[in-house]
Chain A
Amino acid sequence: MSPNKNGRSLSDYGAARIDLGNTRKRGTALIVASTLILMIFAGRLVDLQAVQGDKLASAALDQRLKTVELPAERGSILDSSGEPLAMTVDAKNVTADQTMVTDPIVVAQALSPILGADADILAHRLTGDRRFMYLAKEVTPQTWEQISALRLPGIFSENTSRRIYPAGELAANVIGFVGAQGSGLGGYEYAFNDRLSGTPGETTYERGPGGRAIPTGSSVRVDAQPGVDIELTIDRDIQYFAQKEIALAVQNSGAIDGTVVVMDPQSGHILALATAPTFDPNFPTQSTQKNLNNRPLTSAFEPGSTSKVMTLAAVINEGAATPYTPIKVPSFLSRGDKKFRDATPHGNINLTLSGVMAKSSNIGTILAAERIGGKKLSKYLKKFGVGQPTGLGFPGETNGFVPDYEDWSQTSFPTIAFGQGLSVNAVQVASVFSTIANDGLRVEPSLVKRIVHADGSVEEPEAPVTTRVVSREAAIQVRAMLESVVGEGGTATNAKIPGYRVGGKTGTAQVVDDRTGEYSDQVVASFAGMVPADDPQLVVAVFISQPRNGRYGGELGGPVFKKVAQYALGALEIPPTGSHAPKLALTFGG
């Protein structure tokens, strides 16, 4: 600070000095000022990067990340040859952005013939301010191509999938159906829904403001696990034929419903499970509720005379009688407070046990059953599988009902012996006959042959449970008696198949009226049989409920058995054994 002319400097005048006149001091002041400002920046930087860094980075990442679910492809349901009965195909949802639709009426007119929808309803859905509106769901890709070719503004599509049943009503009662969400609502679509659905995957990726994926951003992908394919034991040709024949029989007899079960007695595989009336799984809502069930498994009924097979098999197995044993059959039998009769009045007749089976005599059956007693009979019934879980996994499956032996009244035993007073489902009856066909060894019935994963690996089900019910010798004798049912003097001569040995049993079981709780005049007409009788490969059981034209198991069930069995023999290429049926005497004495 140079003093001025007077020898005084500014500080003498009392002023504080920031001496900028000096370069050096200017430089220093600038450096200090810059440092201060930079320190503020640095502090903020440290704060953002170090202190809040992680939090901010993850917040930003969250903003960028988008997770999209990858839907899993639903597995198919196949028949025994691997052909699809239920499958999923690509479809499109047609959507509209209402704000982009300039003229809803014109667009609606253009879309109406392609979508098959009312133009007014479409126009209504096209008007408004919503950016996303469904116009049609699950249309075929071809339909969408037609629409997109029109190049209508504001009309877009969304990829989706559709469940189709290419064979229509074939085995509909077994397959079931799906709901709008694509998950099963009935049948095996429902029972196996988890396995059919698979597991959806997801992909998470970073996206920029335009919605596009950032190529170098992080992305994680968990692939969807497709559902498994379920291969049934159902043979589509036999199923088709059986469905056709039972539908015709129900129609012609004016019955309320009918069922056919076709089984392979040695493996327990159910080759056909047909019922009428049934439904088309492509349009489940067009059917009444009760037709959506798997009637052969959900409907319980009193079996009637087909049950005599169990009683007489038990009697023979216990050694209490043989097919030649004479039985004096009176015109009626008093047991407890009831008098039991045969349907056709007769005096005292002399039948052999074979005759009792062939003529289906109630009294003869009661007398034979009394040789072993109720306790033993109830044990055999259990072993034959009636009143027990059928184990096929259907929603609403019934076990049927057999009262415990302890609860039997004096009239229970005779009634149950000839097949009333207990209830069964159709598959259980078929299984009883399969047991006799399989030399007395019961094989648990099954509908699922195997499960195929998307990668091609195969899952075989566990081996079915087998139960020794009667001995092989007893089964052979029972089969011989069954052959006389279709022979001369039997109740089912129209079940015969030319060239083959056939054995079976008719049933005309009374039905309880739900309102009165009493037996009504209505019946379930049935016939269950096996062929070839000396080495059975096939069991066919037919049930016709409450027919109005015709009444008897032999009359109504026999012809359906014959047609279905004949077809199945040809389809499975089962040759006749070439031997002849034994001629068992049905009566004895002079």
Chain B
Amino acid sequence: MSAAPILDHPLDRSTESATEYATRGVRKRTRENLRLVAPMRVRKASRGVFVIVLASILGVGLFGMLLINTTLAQGAFTLSELRSTQTELSRTEATLIESVAALAAPTVLEEKARELGMVPSSTPAFIQIPSGKILGKPKPAPGVPRATLADATVGEGVEAPSSSGLPPALGQTYDPAAADSKRATGEWSEPTLINSQVISDDLSLDSNAVE
């Protein structure tokens, strides 16, 4: 350093060297703030312990991650299994609901009943409890030939109901063959009006015959 006087604002820089210029601030600081400081004592942990601590943190962390991942994976498997079981069961349930509904159809019930040898009942009758009085006129159910709804509406040939299917009212039974033959031979005559024991003619026919 030169022996030139130190000023806060050197007026003339041209004579300064580069070094002098660069260290200007430091020189100023060290000048003003010199004092004695107690030296610091730095304690260094032993390297081995440090390594072990770090390694164990790492180990625990990695292990934890492994554990979590495994659990997640397991959960995902269970989830997917349960889901597919649920789909299976839903499907089965839907199938069963459909089957039950189809089996509950009256046509099916009638067929099954007839297969068991059951016949439809005829006149209903009731037993009054506790008197035991019978209301209505009970009769044994007649055996009726097999004729289900499916046969009738599909239009295939159906056996004509036997005469026991129609009530034998007053000795008159409806016989389509006889009626047809009567028409053909011109014998068809309308039943008489009064004191008629047979099915009386309905008087509303030919009501608009104009003369």
Contacts and interface: CB of A to CB of B under 8 A. Distances in A.
Indicate whether A and B interact: yes
Contact of B203 (A140, A344, A562): A344
Contacts of B161: 248, 252
A243 B203 contact: no
A354 interface: no
B98 A344 contact: no
Helix, strand, loop or mixed for chain A's interface? mixed
B200 A491 contact: yes
Contact of A415 (B176, B196, B208): B208
A349 interface: yes
A252 B160 contact: yes
A491 B202 contact: yes
Interface stretch (B39-47, B53-61, B101-109): B101-109
B137 to A, nearest CB: 4
B115 interface: no
Contact of A343 (B94, B95, B121, B205): B205
A59 B106 CA distance: 60
Interface in A267-321: 276-278, 304-305, 308
A344 B172 contact: no
Interface stretch (A4-12, A471-479, A568-576): A568-576
A177 to B, nearest CB: 15
B170 interface: yes
Contacts of A89: 94, 97-98
Contacts of B101: 83-84, 87, 164, 166-167
Nearest to A586: B194
Interface in B120-164: 120-126, 128, 135-139, 147-150, 152-153, 155, 158, 160-161
Contact of B202 (A140, A420, A554): A554
B174 interface: yes
Given A494-B167, A578-B135, A244 B152 contact: yes
| Residue among B106, B148, B155 having the largest count of chain A Cβ atoms under 10 Å | B106
A189 B195 CA distance: 52
A510 B205 contact: yes
B199 interface: yes
B193 interface: yes
Nearest to A552: B202
A184 B183 CA distance: 47
A252 B163 CA distance: 13
B211 interface: yes
A182 B166 CA distance: 44
Given A84-B101, A362-B203, A496-B169, A338 B106 contact: no
Interface of A: 83-84, 87, 89-90, 140-142, 145, 164, 166-170, 236-237, 240, 243-244, 247-248, 251-253, 276-278, 304-305, 308, 337-344, 346, 349, 359-362, 415, 418-420, 488-494, 496-500, 506-510, 519, 523, 549-550, 552-555, 558-559, 562, 566-567, 569-570, 573-576, 578, 587
Interface of B: 90-91, 94-95, 97-98, 101-102, 104-107, 110, 120-126, 128, 135-139, 147-150, 152-153, 155, 158, 160-161, 166-167, 169-170, 172, 174, 176, 179-180, 190-197, 199-211
11 contacts: A276-B153, A304-B204, A362-B203, A489-B195, A510-B208, A552-B202, A554-B199, A554-B202, A555-B174, A559-B166, A559-B167
5 closest A-B pairs by beta carbon, nearest first, are A166-B101, A499-B136, A343-B205, A247-B152, A570-B124
